[in-house]
Structure 1
């Protein structure tokens, strides 16, 4: 059975399918000793594949939920030597990577896997899985300003939208507010940009939910394996939304 080269690379756990495509296009992939730069190439189990001259090995797919603390990079490495999400998985034989990103100063739920297809499914804009956040803001936003989030905020060429936003509590003395916001999008620094646009900078931000997954009883820095049922439900939820 043959599969597209980028899919096979993603399955190996090296990276996501999108990044695998970049590796191919930039001449960093060889099949049976020859550099391949076309994305349409298909390979089988009999083909010898190398990425940057290192043979890929098929890994068993693994899926984890991590409670990312603040002050941690959502990447597999960092050129400044800062702590990354993969540092919490040094005991694993598999090479996991984060599904999407959380800002350095944002804490909360992030999925880690070596399954590029699974990551692509959850991240693709058309799949629209709920991502729920708890936000603490400087100042107390008005309902009128929050309504703008549902219509869309124009920011640096992007239209940033929220599916839902709700004030949970306010502290009039400290002039702060706690809000719940649900997104389908995943733009860079999206929530911070949205609240900055209405004059209420974010003081704290935590992702509480991704699709059916929640932080449950996890503490910052802790992680757990996803159950086969949870993985299956995430996939089914995404595909159901598309239909």
Structure 2
């Protein structure tokens, strides 16, 4: 074990691959002094470990080659996207009953936002799906008091200047007419419904984008995450395992 060791892999990557946590969280575990390698506490990043090294987190031996699990959840509103909440509010992990391992949400959905979220113990995949360099697209269905003007639509498409910088161009289209024709929305509903696709993951990004162009988001739902698309059978609060083909597509989307 050592920073200059040619063989082996970085400790935080090994922890992520073992399903201990996402790579970012694994780095924090190391910096917080909660990880030991061969009985020695490691507190710096960059250490490499080999197959014979014994790794412990909080005194528990890390098992490598652990079976990886992948789930897709339709998150309801009023649920926290976290493994736990100090205020005792329900979390996405609470909704996954009788699963054999501890899994973690990939990215976040706001408390008042519903829709698709992936949970897994595959830390390396989770890290890449959340990393902006891979540009994973997410599509949201957005309800606002309409109609949304042409200038506002073009601003959303070209990029909106927010306090943390200008957003990347987004794909935006109105689907109000389509939903009414398929009886998925009331024909007397005064709200305009749009679908917005982005590849960034800033905090409350969609809501802030619409607020910046003068519209308040009344309801927000994520209907697509990368290659995974919302389905009628997956009602709010319901989850299912991803198929092998879906896992393959997710991994392929981030070059794994």
Shared fold per TM-score greater than 0.5: yes
Q: Map residues 231-242 of structure 1 onto 2, 5 A cutoff.
A: 231-239=247-255
Residues 1:218 and 2:234 aligned together: yes
- Which residue number in structure 2 is paired with residue 202 of structure 1? 217
Aligned length: 240
* Unmatched tracts of structure 1, length 5 or more: none
Q: Which runs of 5+ in 2 are unaligned?
A: 1-6, 178-185
Q: 1:172 to 1:144 in 2, by over 3 A?
A: farther
- Deviating above 3 A after TM superposition, structure 1's stretches of 4 or more consecutive aligned residues are 170-175
Q: Which residue of 2 aligns with 1:177?
A: 192
Q: Is the contact made by 2:159 and 2:170 (CA closer than 8 Å) also made in structure 1?
A: no
Q: Tell me, yes or no, if the aligned pair for 1:64 and 1:226 is still in contact at 8 Å.
A: yes
Other structure's SS at 2:176 match = strand
TM-score of the superposed pair, with normalisation by structure 1: 0.91
SS at match of 1:239: coil
Q: CA RMSD in A?
A: 2.0
Secondary structure in 2 matching 1:206: strand
CA contact 1:72–1:83 (8 Å) conserved in 2: yes
> 1:65, 1:172 → 2: CA distance?
31
1:166 corresponds in structure 2 to: 173
Which residue among 96, 103, 111 is the counterpart of 2:103?
A: 96
Question: What's the CA shift for 1:172?
Answer: 10
Q: CA deviation at 1:222?
A: 0.9
Distance (whole Å) between structure 2 residues aligned to residue 211 and residue 10 of structure 1: 21
Instruction: Summarize deviations over 1:64-94 as a string: whole Å, max 9, x none.
Output: 1111111111100001101101012241221
8 Å Cα contact 2:16/2:26 also seen in 1: yes
Measured in 1, the distance between the counterparts of 2:166 and 2:187 equals 31
Whether the 8 Å contact between 1:162 and 1:184 is mirrored in structure 2 is no
- TM superposition shift of 1:56: 2.5
Mapped partners of 2:11, 2:97: distance in 1? 28
Q: Distance in 2 between matches of 1:174 and 1:221?
A: 25
